[in-house]
Structure 1
Amino acid sequence: MAKFVSLSFWITLAVYLALASPLAVGWIETWLAANLPVLGSPVANLLTSRVVAGVIWGSIALFIVAPGWRLLWKLPLAGRWFANRYFPDLNGKWVVTIQSNWPIVEHLKNAAASKGITFDPFTNELPDLLEASFDVKIKQSWFRTDVVFLPNDKTPLLSSETISVEFFKSDSGKKSIAWIFEQTNKQDNTQRLAVTDQPKFHGSAVLTVNEDATELQGQYWQNRSWNHGLNAAGLITMKRTN
């Protein structure tokens, strides 16, 4: 989010608001003195420049750090405008379906190791993609976004860590994210990794956000066992569940 509205914008806004605050304070004091004289004097004692500046800085900090900005994104009409003008709020739980080209890679590997088996991906019928599902949590603040894959019993995933998430908007308004991650796999005496697997590797994906920000879809690739020519890639679809 900070890519579209940088920290310098908020600092500039806070400075201008602080400079304009004496005028606002003077108008409030004049109105109170004319309409509510009982409150005029106590309020005048409270509304010092230091207090006003503190309120301004505190409000802006609450907006971008708390993160209070999510409240605006939830407003009926303004929320859609903010999502279109900047970027949607992706916070929440998602279910992810990954379709990997690993069966094609495995066919090539087996053909290379055999004298009787042949496989040409340009002429032979291609096998179905390998599908796997994960529960995912996206934690999006003004300055950072984390995409966390949760482990399950059907895959060797132990943990995932987001290295970087970048937001992009095309001239036509289409929104996409580029995501780089590091994955750690389980490896112990009772559940050894396959020889084609690795305990830790990196991957990335480019995902397009649909209009109502309920689905992210695109392609991914990773460098697992790249040194053996076995790194795979495929399709990834993320659907919001809450």
Structure 2
Amino acid sequence: MWELIKDKYKFIIIVVPSVLLYLLFNSILEQSVIRSISYTTTLISILSFLIGKYLWKYVYIDFFKKNICPDFNGVWIGEIVSNFDSEKKILIPIEINADFFGVKLKSNTTVGYSYANYCQIIRTDSDQFELEYIFRTHNHSPSETDTTYYEGAVKVIVTDIDSMTMTGLYWTNRCWQNGKNTAGTITFKKSDKTFNSINASISEK
């Protein structure tokens, strides 16, 4: 998320607190120049970690979500329409953990689990927010014509920040050696449910 902030705002965020802290240590607390610089650097590093990792969530208002980056944190339900069977819609839950230092994505279902070894949020030239990731899936119960392990990629665009909906495309190399690798469309909607409750409802269908 940090890379989505414009350079001029990054400059303000870094320089202004640094100058104020330096003046605090040097002028008010009457520390030497070297100690003031050292204390300022240390405190800025600690504050940057705490704010960028944890505290930002408590002050991340709607203005920031629409102008800097949406809050991707939470559980999402994906609906897949595949070229393997275009009449069948597949539901898959994912969980995203994002902060100012990076984005992590994983999925656990009753038949396997997936995780992203590359995941990034991008702001396009048209000022839209795009999520792209490469994932690995481990299938716990493959059929005779299936595989236990495959990889794929997803690229989706946030089409509605208020309802947190993303749409786009995906592809996999699942059973590629048999010419059965899949691709299709995928739509994600943010949910307030947990993985377990989502998997339970999917299993009942």
Say whether residues 1:67 and 2:54 are aligned partners. Answer: yes
1:87 pairs with one of 69, 74, 90: 69
Structure 1 distance, partners of 2:168, 2:26, is: 55
Structure number, greater radius of gyration = 1
2:135 pairs with one of 174, 178, 181: 181
1:94–1:238 contact (8 Å) kept in structure 2: yes
Paired residues for 1:107-118 under 5 Å: none
Identify the residue that residue 43 of structure 2 maps to in structure 1. 55
Secondary structure of 2:144's match? Answer: coil
Identify the residue that residue 129 of structure 1 maps to in structure 2. 87
Please, what TM-score do these two structures have when normalized by structure 2?
Answer: 0.75
Paired residues for 1:185-200 under 5 Å: 185-187=139-141, 193-200=142-149
Identify the residue that residue 164 of structure 1 maps to in structure 2. 118
Identify the residue that residue 211 of structure 1 maps to in structure 2. 161
| Structure 1: gaps of 5 or more residues | 30-43, 74-78, 104-127, 188-192
1:223 pairs with one of 142, 167, 173: 173
CA deviation map 1:203-237 (0-9, x unaligned): 11111112325211111111111121111112211
1:176–1:207 contact (8 Å) kept in structure 2: yes
Secondary structure of 1:102's match? Answer: coil
Shift of the 53–219 alpha-carbon distance from structure 1 to 2, 3 Å rule, reads closer
- Partner AA of 1:3 in structure 2: E
Identify the residue that residue 107 of structure 2 maps to in structure 1. 149
Structure 1 distance, partners of 2:87, 2:21, is: 62
- For the aligned residue pairs, the C-alpha RMSD in angstroms reads 3.0
Please, what TM-score do these two structures have when normalized by structure 1?
Answer: 0.65
Say whether residues 1:237 and 2:187 are aligned partners. Answer: yes
Secondary structure of 1:96's match? Answer: strand
| Structure 2: gaps of 5 or more residues | 193-205
Shift of the 53–222 alpha-carbon distance from structure 1 to 2, 3 Å rule, reads closer
1:98–1:237 contact (8 Å) kept in structure 2: yes
Q: % of aligned pairs identical?
A: 23
| Per-residue deviation, 1:129 | 2.4
